[in-house]
Amino acid sequence: MAGPRSPLKGKPLRNPGQSLDEEIQRVIDYQAMAPYAAIVVLWAIAVIEWFAVWRDLPRRPWVFTVAALVGTAWLAVRLVRLRQKVRALRLGRDGERAVGQFLEGLREGGARIFHDVPAEGFNLDHVVISTHGIYVVETKTITKPTPDAKVIYDGEQVTVAGFKPDRDPVMQASAEATWLRRLLQQSTGRDFPVRGAVVYPRWWVEQVNKDRPRRVWVLEPKALPKYIENEPTVMAAEDVALASYHLSRYVRGENGQGR
């Protein structure tokens, strides 16, 4: 006899930073709690052994005590590293949530907003589909080394506090935009204009060489909605609905499994 069936026909759309929330939970559950439980067991055995010694029963408590001490030292180092990892994940998650809140205002103009779209081995932090085009938004939440540190963008490369990022954010956003364009092309048979954008929450972003064409925007999140709204109309409302429908089908379907 079949059990009760869910009334939902598909998976719900994803929230900002959902992948990072899931990764935080995995880190806590599997990388922290499992070794913690193992160390607790070692200490419990060590206490039992010492109790047996106290009662003059033949035991070797030092073996388990040394094992517990070594395990505790290892766990302490591991927990410090995991704490740093979780802190970085939470920072990224909070940044994505903040950017998502800025983008939500575009819905008033008829835009469709998607968050944390699973792709092929990566995720699109945010996707905006509007009559002004389609935008893939990559969020970079980084702590400032000094209060006056800033992001500088010359139209091709980005420097953050005077240093080039290990991973080129312009190339990353451009690749994500290309991936989404191909996905929509395959599912709709239409070629939609898709542009990449990189945003740095709470950073001052300085634009240099402004006469150079920008295939990817690099902005502070507050400026992004206005940039989008100031772009010319390139899509009809029907096209917005079509692209949104196919992207939501992808996110809810079996292909949208995430990383």
Task: Domain ranges for the chain, please list them.
Answer: 18-92, 110-252
Q: What is the DSSP letter of 29?
A: I
What's the rounded Cα separation, in Å, for the pair 118 and 250? 9
For 96-232, where are the E strands, in sequence order? 112-118, 123-130, 133-139, 150-153, 158-160, 194-199, 204-207, 216-219
Q: What is the DSSP letter of 232?
A: P
**32 phi and psi, to 5 degrees?**
-115, -50
What's the rounded Cα separation, in Å, for the pair 126 and 104? 11
- Pick the residue with more confidence: 68 or 164? 164
The pLDDT, as a whole number, for residue 73 is 83
Q: What is the pLDDT of residues 60-74, one digit of tens each?
A: 666 667 777 887 787
Mark residue 17 as left, alpha or beta (left: phi above 0; alpha: psi -120 to 50; beta: remaining). left
Q: What is the pLDDT of residues 195-254, one digit of tens each?
A: 999 999 989 999 998 788 888 999 999 999 999 999 999 999 999 999 999 999 998 884
The third-level CATH classification (topology) of the domain covering 110-252 is Trna Endonuclease; Chain: A, domain 1 (3.40.1350)
141 pLDDT exceeds 80? yes
Average pLDDT of the chain?
82
Q: What is the pLDDT of residues 76-87, one digit of tens each?
A: 887 788 788 878
- Pick the residue with more confidence: 179 or 79? 179
DSSP of 55-85: TT----HHHHHHHHHHHHHHHHHHHHHHHHH
Q: How far is CA 14 from CA 37, 46, 48, in A?
A: 32, 47, 49
Q: Residues 124, 167: contact at Cβ < 8 Å?
A: no
The pLDDT, as a whole number, for residue 5 is 45
Q: Residues 138, 169: contact at Cβ < 8 Å?
A: yes
Tokens for 79, please give them.
């927990």
**Single-letter residue type at 198:** V
17 pLDDT exceeds 80? no
**Mean pLDDT in residue range 146-164:** 92
117 pLDDT exceeds 70? yes
Question: Minimum mean pLDDT among 37-41, 192-196, 253-257: which range?
Answer: 253-257
Q: What is the DSSP letter of 93?
A: H
Q: Residues 14, 115: contact at Cβ < 8 Å?
A: yes
Q: Residues 176, 135: contact at Cβ < 8 Å?
A: no
Name residue, tokens 């499994």. Answer: 257
75 pLDDT exceeds 70? yes
Q: Residues 103, 137: contact at Cβ < 8 Å?
A: yes
Q: Residues 182, 123: contact at Cβ < 8 Å?
A: no
SS3 223: helix
